[in-house]
Amino acid sequence: MSDKLIYLDSAATTAVDKSIAEIALKYYTDDFYNPSSLYKQAHVVKRQLEDAAARIGRLLGADGGDIVFTSCATESNNYALECGYKNKKGNLVISGGEHASVYEKAMNIKSGGRDVRIVPLKPDGRVDGEKLLAAVDENTALVSVIHVSNETGAINDAADLCKRVKDKNKRAVFHSDGVQAFCKLNIDLQSTGIDLYSVSAHKVGGLKGVGALYVKKGFNMKPFIVGGGQQGNRRSGTENVGGIVSFAAAAELYKSKAACFNAKAVYNYLVTQIKSELDYAIINGSADSGNCYILSVSFPGIKGEVLAHMLEEKGILIGLGSACSTHVKQSRVHLQLGLSQKETEGSIRISLSPDNTVDEIKYAASELMAAVKKLKGIIDG
């Protein structure tokens, strides 16, 4: 292999292609105008923002008017949980597999006295649909279910869960965190009842610090951030024009590359290799639940951190559990899957991007196997 690093941590963030960075740069240099200003140059910039919203909307199966740009998906998720429903006394129902930006926000709301119901995951990493429905009642204000788990890659059928929730309580608002699904799975929000959907630019080759929230047409959401009334008063603050316009371009590029990348085949290859050589390995979340871009695996007895450093020496970069929660000792998601502390400590997360090549994957798989065997040999004596 060359000296080029093999990057297998794309669920944490992705590289920005130079062509995308150049699009962003243009809006900080030549076309730096404030889109709310009066002159022609500013109107041109404003139209670019509208165009970006339409393009992101198209990728989500929605219209531009349904898109609110935010500073990141963490903000989109916080916005949804804070402002995404009128029934301010109603209960909130979330899955136990939510990203911290939903989970901690829900805990925050709970500490203010609200009834927040957390629905456990099944061993395959998906939320238990029956328990989710049992938690929903006539007083449920909002339900939030992550579309693709950032920790295990498990895919929840957000559209189906939304339908079942609304069959039980048609006033309940349905939000899904789509950060790890966007541009990877086919999403057609308008054909579902999903009311709110969060995405992030830096997971699809866009800039860090840019996100969006899809808000279903006719859904009159109060703002979370107030001020100058930008974006139809849904989110104040001068828009990050370069970040937003380049987000649209990055997402389109990512989607076109993803169409030619067989993530499921790569995922299956890795699982088969690992299982055939390391029979004690545990695939976290079922390999059958549709997972493709994210593979979480535990090697009990081994420290994931040590393994990650060994692979780094070989030029391979991987993640542990989730990049956003490396300081958390026992992962909340792993606990629900029944993993012991030891199994969590021995877990790594490999996450793919359409830029990964077959050669990279083969090399990484063989180095992974060698490193685990070496560590296991040391431990078992």
For ligand PLP, give the closer residue by CB, 215 or 333.
333
Contacts of 69 (CB under 8 A, 6+ apart): 49, 52, 53, 210, 211, 212, 231, 235, 239, 240, 244, 247
- Helices 304-313 and 358-380 pack at an angle, to 10 degrees, of 130
For ligand PLP, give the closer residue by CB, 203 or 216.
203
Dihedrals phi, psi of 111, to nearest 5 degrees: -65, -15
CA distance 350 to 331: 16
Per the document, the length of the chain is 381
Give every strand in the sheet of 196-200, ordered side by side: 67-70, 211-215, 196-200, 173-177, 140-144, 91-95, 116-119
Q: Residues 72, 83, 183, 324: which is the catalytic one?
A: 324
For ligand PLP, give the closer residue by CB, 73 or 316.
73
Four-CA torsion 222, 239, 106, 294, nearest 10 degrees: 140
Report the nearest approach of ligand PLP to the CB of residue 99 (Å): 4
For ligand PLP, give the closer residue by CB, 140 or 144.
144
Q: Secondary structure of 144-195 in the HEC alphabet?
A: ECCCECCCCCCECCHHHHHHHHHHHCCCCEEEEECCCCCCCCCCCHHHCCCC
Coil, helix or strand at residue 37: coil
Q: Does residue 166 contact residue 138 with C-beta atoms inside 8 Å?
A: no
Report the nearest approach of ligand PLP to the CB of residue 13 (Å): 8
Report the nearest approach of ligand PLP to the CB of residue 201 (Å): 7
Q: Report strand pairing: 211-215 vs 282-283.
A: unpaired
324 is catalytic: yes
Report the nearest approach of ligand PLP to the CB of residue 211 (Å): 5
Report the nearest approach of ligand PLP to the CB of residue 324 (Å): 5
For ligand PLP, give the closer residue by CB, 150 or 240.
150
Give the residues across from 68 on adjacent strands.
Answer: 213
For ligand PLP, give the closer residue by CB, 181 or 372.
181
Six token digits for residue 13: 């963030």
CA distance 43 to 229: 17
Report the nearest approach of ligand PLP to the CB of residue 3 (Å): 28
For ligand PLP, give the closer residue by CB, 326 or 357.
326
Residues forming contacts to ligand PLP in the complex (CB under 6 A) are: 72-74, 99, 101, 146, 150, 177, 179-180, 200, 211, 324
Report the nearest approach of ligand PLP to the CB of residue 113 (Å): 26
Catalytic residues: 324
